[in-house]
Structure 1
Amino acid sequence: MRASRIVSTVALSMCVAGLVGGCAGGAGSGAAVRSVPRTAQAQDDLLKSAQTELVQRCLTDRKIPTPTSAEPQPADGQRQFPYGIDDPVWAAEHGFGIAVGTGRSRPATPKLDRTAAARQQRLADALFGTGRRELSTRTATGFVVRANSDGCLAEAQRVLYGDQAAWFRTDVTVNNLAAAAHQRVTRDPAYRAALARWSRCVAPVHKAEDPAELRAAWQRQARDLGRRQATALQRRYALAEARCVRSTDLAATGTQLERRHTAELRARYADQIDEHRRLRDHGLRYAVRHGR
């Protein structure tokens, strides 16, 4: 699957959720003139609201119906352990943090009928454009991401940021730096050495080369177990993972290396980071000026 298709799929979900969620009041709402928010989260919310309103206007002009139901939201309270669970207490209570099924097969997702499929395709074409993808950039992880410049999303970004091609290039680059840093960590000799120590530590419970393999082993075994047994096994494996992560400093090594690789990547891509910040500031000023 090409990176551009992955990005398009994710973007479609984000656009649909944003369109359903609605937008902030426009210039005619009578609100007082605002200044650019100080916090990054508030700035993100403002840009998202402004872009959503511009996309909605474009779709309306093109007579494209917008969705009427929201996408399901991810569950709250999930913790992220990018380099293995390092909290034995959490692992003893939550295991890997993976919900245990009932053991019964889930019903297949119903296929869209032709009318619904055509409507969805029309929406996707209007959002992302059609034909040859004119825009292309390579991320720090090595993927080539492509996009069209004739869809409503591109039009909204052109209005909001002033230069849609530059925004696409810098936004893709900046948003992939964290993934690139993680990729570099997993290939770093220091991390590989810590991972080998972890593998030897966890072997008495289950042989696995890394935490992902340990999770996969549990999932395979859980298919043939009842809920209680599957839950107990998940907690046993997760606790073994966490204890070995602690004793081998796997997560600490990963976190330390990530800081170093992140700094190196930010230095390497400093020009694009600065340009992304400039375009983002342009978008924030536009959103405030137009009462988004």
Structure 2
Amino acid sequence: MKRPALRRKVAQLSTVVAVAALALTGCSRESGGSPAPFAAAKARELTWAEDLRISDAEQRLIARCMARQGFRYWSDGSLSLAESRPVGYVQDDVRWARTYGYGSRIAAKEDRARLRNPNIAYRKGLPVDRRAAYDTALDGGRKTELLRAGVPGGGSVSKRSGGCDAAAQRTLYGDPATWFRLDSTASNLRPLYVGKLLHDRRFTAAVHDWASCMKRAGHPYPDPDAARQAARQHPAVQSRAEEARSFAAETRIAVADATCARQVSLKSVGRDREAHYLDRLNAEYGTQLDAYRQARQQALARAERLVPARA
């Protein structure tokens, strides 16, 4: 049986999400001591490429830490920078769509990488006692501290915090418990406003304009999600020729989707309306979001000293 904590690590390698990107659009510190406190100035939102670099740095730190514990750990670099790009509800990069469609081949590549993940095979091949030591080195094992944090709208989330996992986060973000609370807040705000955004008059008008554009292009779909679902309507198992035909159809729809999104400025309208609804939450969550952005800016500065930008 694959260990849940290790499965989470594998998933984290291929999924990078920035809180400000429109979801509808898609050991102690190594040098010793503790990280500096958050800067006072308001930090900007990071790009998805910068977020990916932080993720790569975290994996590098975990690998180094595991090596010091006498274990091997492989960082994942199976996707290129372009392939790692998040694809949300609105995608208006025509060139990307022409090459990758909606990303079905990228998803298949990720699935293959997960199935062949060397960390899972390596752990499975260890003797039982070494396997337990591996688990403890990686995330503290079953007896490690369990972090808990409340999330906007009610409820809570939890995660283990120990071993090299916690050490890497401490190097990048500072106190893992503080970072977990900030990340849990920032990553769970969208349910508070996404319903309002989807029914926002300006946004729905832009989606209507997009649908009219798509209809003229020969793709009569009411919204981007419907277009994407249509591109996925094919058998789960396909021959090479069938997959090529499916991908060609996916690409045609995706290119038209991106072209129409650009023509009606759907992404900019969506971002503007998202900012509007986020502003309404500022009184309750603004301080935490500012601290979250500062922590990410701090992590990026440290990541830039650890790993190059992915090509």
Q: Shorter chain as normaliser: what TM range? A: 0.5 to 0.7
Indicate how the Cα distance of structure 1 residues 133 and 67 shifts in structure 2: closer, same or farther if over 3 A, else same. Answer: same
CA distance in 2, matches of 1:77, 1:160: 24
> Aligned residues, how many?
254
Q: Does structure 2 conserve the Cα–Cα contact (< 8 Å) formed by 1:86 and 1:246?
A: yes
Indicate how the Cα distance of structure 1 residues 217 and 120 shifts in structure 2: closer, same or farther if over 3 A, else same. Answer: farther
CA distance in 2, matches of 1:100, 1:134: 34
CA distance in 1, matches of 2:211, 2:5: 32
Matched, 1:56 2:65: yes
- Provide the residue aligned with 1:136 in structure 2: 148
Matched, 1:74 2:82: no
Q: Does structure 2 conserve the Cα–Cα contact (< 8 Å) formed by 1:83 and 1:254?
A: no
Q: CA deviation at 1:192?
A: 4.2
CA distance in 2, matches of 1:139, 1:88: 36
- Provide the residue aligned with 2:200 in structure 1: 189
3-state SS of paired residue (2:232): helix
| TM-score normalised by L of structure 1 | 0.57
- Provide the residue aligned with 1:270 in structure 2: 286
CA distance in 2, matches of 1:91, 1:159: 37
Q: CA deviation at 1:258?
A: 2.2
Matched, 1:170 2:153: no
CA distance in 1, matches of 2:247, 2:169: 46
Picking from 146, 152, 160, the partner of 2:158 is: 146
| TM-score normalised by L of structure 2 | 0.55
Q: CA deviation digits over 1:191-221, x for unaligned, max 9?
A: 3454355446545745545323423322333
Picking from 232, 237, 251, the partner of 1:219 is: 232
What is the percentage of aligned positions where both structures have the same residue? 24
- Provide the residue aligned with 2:22 in structure 1: none
Partner letter of residue 9 of structure 1? R
- Provide the residue aligned with 2:277 in structure 1: 261
Partner letter of residue 69 of structure 1? W
Q: CA deviation at 1:228?
A: 4.9
Q: Does structure 2 conserve the Cα–Cα contact (< 8 Å) formed by 1:95 and 1:238?
A: yes
Structure 1, unmatched stretches of 5+, are: 15-23, 28-35, 288-292
Matched, 1:95 2:108: no
- Rg comparison, structure with higher value: 1
Q: CA deviation at 1:146?
A: 0.5
Indicate how the Cα distance of structure 1 residues 237 and 159 shifts in structure 2: closer, same or farther if over 3 A, else same. Answer: closer
Q: CA deviation at 1:69?
A: 3.4
3-state SS of paired residue (1:70): coil
Partner letter of residue 95 of structure 1? G
CA distance in 2, matches of 1:126, 1:244: 50
Q: CA deviation at 1:9?
A: 0.7
Partner letter of residue 172 of structure 1? S
Indicate how the Cα distance of structure 1 residues 139 and 66 shifts in structure 2: closer, same or farther if over 3 A, else same. Answer: farther
Indicate how the Cα distance of structure 1 residues 260 and 67 shifts in structure 2: closer, same or farther if over 3 A, else same. Answer: farther
Q: Does structure 2 conserve the Cα–Cα contact (< 8 Å) formed by 1:55 and 1:156?
A: no
Equivalent runs, 1:242-253 vs 2, <5 Å: 242-246=258-262, 248-253=264-269
CA distance in 2, matches of 1:98, 1:141: 33
State the Cα RMSD in Å. Answer: 5.4
Q: CA deviation at 1:56?
A: 1.8
Structure 2, unmatched stretches of 5+, are: 14-28, 33-38, 303-311
Q: Does structure 1 conserve the Cα–Cα contact (< 8 Å) formed by 2:197 and 2:273?
A: no
Indicate how the Cα distance of structure 1 residues 26 and 167 shifts in structure 2: closer, same or farther if over 3 A, else same. Answer: closer
CA distance in 2, matches of 1:134, 1:108: 26
Q: Does structure 2 conserve the Cα–Cα contact (< 8 Å) formed by 1:173 and 1:272?
A: yes
Q: Does structure 1 conserve the Cα–Cα contact (< 8 Å) formed by 2:63 and 2:73?
A: no
Q: CA deviation at 1:254?
A: 0.9
Q: 232-241 or 202-211: which moved more?
A: 202-211
Partner letter of residue 189 of structure 1? D
CA distance in 1, matches of 2:278, 2:72: 38
Indicate how the Cα distance of structure 1 residues 216 and 123 shifts in structure 2: closer, same or farther if over 3 A, else same. Answer: farther
Q: Does structure 2 conserve the Cα–Cα contact (< 8 Å) formed by 1:101 and 1:227?
A: no
Q: Does structure 2 conserve the Cα–Cα contact (< 8 Å) formed by 1:133 and 1:146?
A: no
Partner letter of residue 65 of structure 2? Q
Q: Does structure 2 conserve the Cα–Cα contact (< 8 Å) formed by 1:158 and 1:164?
A: yes
CA distance in 2, matches of 1:87, 1:125: 43
Q: Does structure 2 conserve the Cα–Cα contact (< 8 Å) formed by 1:170 and 1:275?
A: yes
- Provide the residue aligned with 2:125 in structure 1: 115
